[in-house]
Amino acid sequence: MGRDETDSRADMAVEEPGPAPDPGESESTKYRDYLAVNYLHVVVQDTFRALPRPRADYTTIAQEALKLGLPEIEADADGRDDGVALDKLVDIATNLVGQIDPTLPTDVDWVSLQEIFFTEDAELRSWSKQVDELPWRYRRAFLCMTVCRMTSSESARVLTKFKDFGKVCANTIRTRNNRAIKRLEGGGVSVEELMFSLHGNEPEDGMH
């Protein structure tokens, strides 16, 4: 299933091309729309893999990276190469994510696996949905510890900032993360396989 999926970025482009561009549009606008339609989801996923954060609007960040990066991409002789353009956009997006302080009580919501993880595998999509539907106390602990691979102490510092979560210690977060894993596995989710596919590599030892 998920392990057979290719990591090739080109293979992740949408199969159906977007609508035909308006003849009156500039070449810059056409290329921006081409990247947005075919590769924005790749930027979202690759940015998360490069710098996973439990609270970040990766889609909006990818759109901002496209806005900021397009002039530089077009100025580069090799910029119109899709791989070169994607590397540039992911670099910009990753830098933007790095500027976010996850402990600040901003309006940025917690990440949704269904929004940051793109796959044609129906089972993986179903598993991502089950993560998004976890009770919020379990889900936030799971996002911090298992999805974003934060330590229980790091997770506690992030989660304690929210009034609805209450003051929590590392042991509490670890317990809630473990309960989230048990609930998911009880529903047929292979957490290890899901994390393997989400991050594009083997999960770290002692993930649980």
Spans in the chain with pLDDT lower than 70: 1-26, 77-80, 102-108, 161-167, 201-208
Closest by alpha carbon to 52, among 179, 205, 155? Answer: 155
The tokens for 95 are 């830098």
CA distance 84 to 62: 16
pLDDT at 14: 52
Residue ending a domain, among 67, 98, 129, is 98
Q: What is the pTM of this model?
A: 0.77
Q: Do 48 and 127 fall within a single domain?
A: no
In a domain, 40, yes or no: yes
pLDDT at 157: 82
Residues near 75 by Cβ (< 8 Å), separated by ≥ 6?
A: none
Structural domain span for residue 171:
113-199
Determine the Cα angle at 116 with ends 115 and 119, to 5°. 90
pLDDT at 102: 64
pLDDT at 208: 40
Q: Do 92 and 119 fall within a single domain?
A: no
